Amino acid sequence: MQAEIITIGDELLIGQVIDTNSAWMAGKLNEAGIDVIRITSVGDRREEILSALDEAVKRAKIILITGGIGPTPDDITKETLAAYFDCRMVVNEKILKEIEKFLKSRSIPMNEQNRKQAEVPEKAELLSNQYGTAAGMWFEEQDAIFVSMPGVPHEMKALMEHEIIPRLRKRFLSPPILHRTILTYGTFEAKLAEILSDYEKNLDPSIKLAYLPSNGIIRLRFTLHGSDEKEMDKILDREINRLYQIIPQYILGTEEDTLEKIVGMLLKKKGATLSVAESCTGGNLSRRITSVPGSSAYFTGSVIAYSNDIKLNVLNINLKSLTDHGSVSREVAEEMATGIRDRFKTDYSISTTGIAGPDGGTAEKPVGLVWIAVASKEKVLSKKFLFGGNRERNIERASLAGLNMLRKMLLKKEM
């Protein structure tokens, strides 16, 4: 079974809002055995929405629509759907009561715009929205299913998980689609493809392998269509076990693992604590660490030592190190790591210092130069990186590199 996603909103087309809804929806549909064949974004214009619907129904039997059903005048999706399905707009009393109850629970007074949200196309089967005032709408026309949802992510996700996906599963017994994802780090996409060239040639022909790089991490996604899920699992297990034999040094984990989760798990297992001293990453490394639920069990805190004064007076960096080698150097990175570990009395620490860009580089120390150090009670290890000219990518890649260096230290692997 095939589906198409249509996202509606001028904010998507001018780059003001990034469309994360489609990626999430596509993942959920794929899990249900439904292929997404196209994703289209259109503005808040009647003719564009109508055209997108006409085109989508030629290709797919499931059309999922998000956006444009809020309380403001620019939200025109409901009226456009009424025109498309040739029906009237009517007030749904059940939805009106749900809206009143929702607003009252939040001490928000009801106004005319909220009441208007209870006006829906007459042909719509309504899906209750427990997190907002815009109901989902289910239509069946032209031998296809059309579903309209709010564009607010948490509202859309609740409708998808509790209403739409269960209905689609019940209606369409699609053959399973299995995905496995292996997380790798420590090499480049082209190099990894070269290493795996023979492996790919001998890969089971029913499997599709995709390389998904992002900030130094490469996800290897295995996709398999079939009819026998148990047999499909066996095929994937066999091929992934072969992969582990070929590139064990690059494999971090599977599926939704992240470096911060892996490092947190290792610290918890050891009963160890961690502190961080950041310069060029500006708190991003700490943000990653604390994004993991339960990180307070091992992460004590950090210092963002952006200025040399903080490096000297808070982290106790040697003035001679700064004078002789500069703030972006092996010596300063190592002293930052030991300084924060001593100050916060932790078992391990990470430090970052570099030139994130776009300015500040020299011929000797170009933009993208980063020194990272990790320290334990026994030793301090440091490494030099040259990431490139993009500031945001440099910050992300330095944060990941620091976590990976600590991971290797915890596992007693070579840097």
CA distances from 170 to 128, 163, 174 (A): 19, 11, 10
CA distances from 94 to 67, 125, 128, 137, 384 (A): 22, 12, 9, 14, 63
CA-nearest of 393, 371, 302 to 341 is 302
Find where tokens 């078992």 sit.
347
Q: Is 177-254 a CATH 3.30.380.10 domain?
A: no
CATH class of 2-171: alpha beta
Fold of 259-411: Maf protein (3.90.950)
Q: Where are the beta strands (DSSP E) in 102-197?
A: 119-121, 125-127, 136-141, 144-149, 177-185
Asked whether this chain's domains 2-171 and 177-254 adopt the same fold, the reply is: no
Measure the CA–CA gap between 276 and 299, rounded to whole angstroms: 9
**pLDDT score at 229:** 87
Domain ranges of the chain: 2-171, 177-254, 259-411
pLDDT tens per residue across all 415 residues of the chain: 899 999 999 999 999 999 999 999 999 998 888 999 999 999 999 999 999 999 999 999 999 999 999 888 888 999 999 999 999 999 989 889 988 888 888 888 888 888 888 899 999 999 988 888 889 999 999 899 999 999 999 999 999 999 999 999 888 877 778 889 999 999 999 999 999 999 999 999 999 999 999 888 999 999 998 888 899 999 999 999 999 999 999 999 998 899 999 999 999 999 999 999 999 999 999 999 999 999 999 999 999 999 999 999 999 999 999 999 999 999 999 999 999 999 999 999 999 999 999 999 999 999 999 999 999 999 999 999 999 999 999 999 999 999 999 999 999 887 7
**pLDDT score at 356:** 96
Q: Please answer whether residues 8 and 34 qualify as being in contact, where contact means their C-beta atoms are separated by less than 8 angstroms.
A: no
Kindly compute the dihedral angle of the four CA atoms of residues 338, 341, 344, 346, in this order, to the nearest 10 degrees.
-160
Is the entire prediction scored with pTM above 0.75?
Answer: no
- What are residue 303's DSSP bridge partners? 277
